[in-house]
Structure 1
Amino acid sequence: MSDDANLIERFLEMLVAEAGASQHTLAAYRTDLEQASAITGGRLSCADRELVSKLPSHWRKLQNSTVARKSSSLRRYFRFLVEEGFRADDPSDALPRPGSARSLPKTLSHGEIESLFRHVAEGLEREPGKAAISRLSAIMELLYGSGLRASELVTLSRSSIAGDEPFLIIKGKGNKERLVPISQQARSAVRRWMEFVDPMEKWLFPSRTGHISRIRLFQIIKEHAARAGINPAKISPHVLRHAFATHLLEGGADLRALQTLLGHSDISTTQIYTHIDSARLVELVNNRHPLSQLDLAR
């Protein structure tokens, strides 16, 4: 299977798991992406901005609504490739941009995060010897506490946890390794879960056929959200990763630090991926700007 074909399948799998996409929606995405792949000679997934800019010339005879859909399909696909670490840059700014501007990615409030972790803590207290709740605890700590991608989490090996070292060893695209900080609480959660995993097992989160799938990970997260009283439609592994970045930014982290933590090659990706609540910006100016300390009425 070619890189384009393989990555398109992974993208469609994500749409089913995260967005609950219908068969009709999947068929539309598949058609748009496979046609674009054919136009680019099977190089869509690695296409640069110049190659992507040539796609609209093949859409001249199409209705505006169809062009808008194709552009949207490709934008979402390239965003997926960047977010999952399959490429470092997003060339989709070369595509037509009909309609309204792209909305910010979904995130969770501090209160919603507290509800999710409170439900985990209650489960651990109620059934400390149950494997399912220990696995959930480890998953939540790694997704929100370390900002891992779904693909990075499901493919974690047992050897990724180096004793009591305060970091994880993550292998990304091209087998490039990066270090991801892991809190003491997360290490404790992982150690508790490892007691349920066969010492000879390769994967940290195994399944009958290898490691757990992305789809199963999405299911675990959404089931947990429902039990914690949060709308499952609001949450996914990527939403937790985005909450990790957003809350760090709100807490004072700078974009360069976030770039390192998230494993982004380009700072512009981090700028798109993170955002600050506008109300906090207003408060920041009102309370921190030097002029706010001056009484100009005197």
Structure 2
Amino acid sequence: MSNDSVYIDRFLEMMAAESGASPNTLSAYRSDLEQASSFAKGLLSEADRAGLEKIASAWSELKNSSVSRKSSSLRRFFGFLVEEGFRADDPSDSLPRPGGQRSLPKILSHEEVAKLFETIEVRLNTKNPKPKDARLSALIELLYGSGLRASELVSLPRKSVMMDRPFLIISGKGGKERLVPISDRARHAVKRWTGFVDGDEKYLFPSRTGHLSRIRLFQIIKDLATKSDINPTKISPHVLRHAFATHLLEGGADLRALQTLLGHSDISTTQIYTHVDSARLVELVNNRHPLSRHDLTR
């Protein structure tokens, strides 16, 4: 099996588990990626800008909608390779964008995030809270509070969160390590959950076969959304990671700091998290532009 085949399978697994892609969408991604891999003689994952431009040249007779879809598939694939540490650079900006700007990623509002935590609080404040509710609290606090990838979250060692240490040391794909701040809320949520975890367990979120799977995490979050009166199609582990990043940017964080927090090798990958609603952009111009504060004719 070629590296491309392995990476494509992992990418589709991520899309299913973290983004909730439908079977039809996954099939379309696979078709586009396998065709591009065939054109690249099984070396798509190693392609540079010139290589991607050659692949795109084979699309010259296709409709704009088809070119747009294929470009989008490859951009998502290369974004995945960079984010997971399988390569350091993302050459996919050389691909055509016939449809104009790419669509904005899904985002949760502050109010929707608050609903999720309200649902969890109601469960925890019952007379006899269940272990799965303590686990749910720890999962959501770490996903939204620290912006972990689903794969990083489910594979956390049991002793990774210490009450006297306000950060996690995350070992991401490619063996790269980074420090991730963890809030007091998250540490207390994890402490509550570890009371239900056997001391001999290797993982913080164990299962019968190792650790909680990404697919099971996806299902847990969908169920929480339904019980919080949020459309479950809007939410996934990756959407909570995106909410973490977007809400930090809204609060004043800069892209370089966010790049470090998210563990991105390339700043261009971090830029997908700069989705800001139009109302805030209008407010920014009205309140921060020099013309809003000064009479420059004086």
TM score, norm. by length of structure 2: 0.91
Tell me the equivalent position of 1:112.
112
Tell me the equivalent position of 2:258.
258
Query: What is the 5 A alignment of 1:283-298?
Result: 283-294=283-294
How many angstroms does 1:276 deviate by? 2.4
Which has the higher mean CA deviation after the structures are superposed, 177-186 or 268-277?
A: 268-277
How big is each residue's C-alpha offset from its partner over 1:162-182, in whole Å with a ceiling of 9 and x where there is no partner?
452000110012211111000
- Decide whether the 8 Å contact of 2:162 with 2:187 is kept in 1: no
How many angstroms does 1:22 deviate by? 4.3
Is it true that 1:158 corresponds to 2:182 in the alignment? Answer: no
Letter in 1 for 2:152: E
The change in CA–CA distance for 1:183 and 1:7 in structure 2 (over 3 A counts) is: same
Q: How many Å separate the matches in 2 of 1:95 and 1:71?
A: 6
Tell me the equivalent position of 1:273.
273
The change in CA–CA distance for 1:150 and 1:53 in structure 2 (over 3 A counts) is: same
Tell me the equivalent position of 1:89.
89
Letter in 2 for 1:54: K
How big is each residue's C-alpha offset from its partner over 1:37-76, in whole Å with a ceiling of 9 and x where there is no partner?
2332333223222222221234445555543432232122
Q: How many Å separate the matches in 2 of 1:149 and 1:85?
A: 12
How many angstroms does 1:127 deviate by? 5.3
Letter in 2 for 1:91: P
Fraction of identical pairs, as percent: 71
Which has the higher mean CA deviation after the structures are superposed, 218-227 or 208-217?
A: 208-217
How many angstroms does 1:151 deviate by? 1.4
Tell me the equivalent position of 2:38.
38
Query: What is the 5 A alignment of 1:1-12?
Result: 1-12=1-12
How big is each residue's C-alpha offset from its partner over 1:171-216, in whole Å with a ceiling of 9 and x where there is no partner?
0122111110000110011111111112111111111111111111
Number of matched residues? 298
Q: How many Å separate the matches in 2 of 1:63 and 1:281?
A: 34
Tell me the equivalent position of 1:131.
131
How big is each residue's C-alpha offset from its partner over 1:106-153, in whole Å with a ceiling of 9 and x where there is no partner?
111111111111111111111554111111101100110001111111
Letter in 2 for 1:198: D
Query: What is the 5 A alignment of 1:236-247?
Result: 236-247=236-247
Which has the higher mean CA deviation after the structures are superposed, 174-183 or 92-101?
A: 92-101
How many angstroms does 1:18 deviate by? 4.6
Letter in 2 for 1:274: T
Tell me the equivalent position of 2:149.
149
Is it true that 1:208 corresponds to 2:195 in the alignment? Answer: no
Tell me the equivalent position of 2:53.
53
How many angstroms does 1:224 deviate by? 0.3
Which has the higher mean CA deviation after the structures are superposed, 207-216 or 267-276?
A: 267-276
Cα RMSD for the two superposed structures = 2.3
Letter in 1 for 2:113: I
- Decide whether the 8 Å contact of 1:84 with 1:149 is kept in 2: no
Query: In structure 2, the residue corresponding to 1:152 is in which secondary structure?
Result: helix
The change in CA–CA distance for 1:282 and 1:62 in structure 2 (over 3 A counts) is: closer
How many angstroms does 1:13 deviate by? 2.1
The change in CA–CA distance for 1:191 and 1:255 in structure 2 (over 3 A counts) is: same
